[in-house]
Amino acid sequence: MAFVIAAATAALLVQPVCSWDRPGVDRYRGTPAAALANYRDIPAADRAVLARRIAAGTPDDTVRISRNAIAGHHAYESGIADMHFGTGRMCRTVTRAKWAPARQEPAAVYCVNDECVLVPEVCGNVSRVRRITTSGGGTPGATGSSGPAIELPPASPSPATLLATAPGYPAVPSGGAVLPPWAGPGTPVSPVPGLDYPGPGREVGGPVPLAPVPEPATWGMLLGGIALLAAHAWRRARQ
């Protein structure tokens, strides 16, 4: 029974796919170290370095996020993963299907070895991205060179049906939309040159449509199901 409750709690806190169609809503409210602790595949020493650099605001790169690409001094895959929302909630994958084609959001990228963390300026939602490595020596704390990126084959096209009706996160209560100090606008993200390069993901029609974020009614049904399972187990124990 304890396993069922633990699994249900994890399902509420970690969602497989969410829509990030309203950046700035439901901002992350924890610390960089708390967010990075969920990236267990990154060595603890590297997570500590990333946390210090995020808190200090010393990124490897500044980028512009658009609907189908992430453009910066380095080349990045278009997908965003493991994004943190609010307090203690994380989405394995986030979609931006409803963004206007011209919309761009600035963000900072912090890298150690082959692992890169993305922090959008509008919300501070700590996330992960993959940088496309290039030949040559790397910069401190990062992989790849500052030279031109190697052109890679285009990504596989997404299904024709996009995530058009997936609900976004609800608005945060009034007075609670203040960014944490480490994610504030104290260090503005500088414009990035060369934003018109073909870039990874620009040929892709959109993100893969998957399940939207569960609504409160879904949570209620889940908790109700757990209660029924508990009652059934109690009755069998009595018999």
CB 94 within 8 A of CB 18: yes
Q: Partners of 95 in the beta sheet? A: 19
Closest-CA residue to 148 (of 191, 198, 202): 198
pLDDT tens-digit readout, 18-59: 888 888 888 998 999 999 999 999 999 999 999 999 999 999
Pairing of strands 89-95, 61-65: unpaired
Query: How remote is the C-alpha of 137 from its chain's centroid?
Result: 28
What are the extents of the domains in the chain? 2-238
| Confidence at residue 185, expressed as pLDDT on a 0 to 100 scale | 56
Average pLDDT of every residue of the chain? 73
| Confidence at residue 228, expressed as pLDDT on a 0 to 100 scale | 85
For the segment 127-150, the average pLDDT, to the nearest whole number, is 59
| Confidence at residue 19, expressed as pLDDT on a 0 to 100 scale | 86
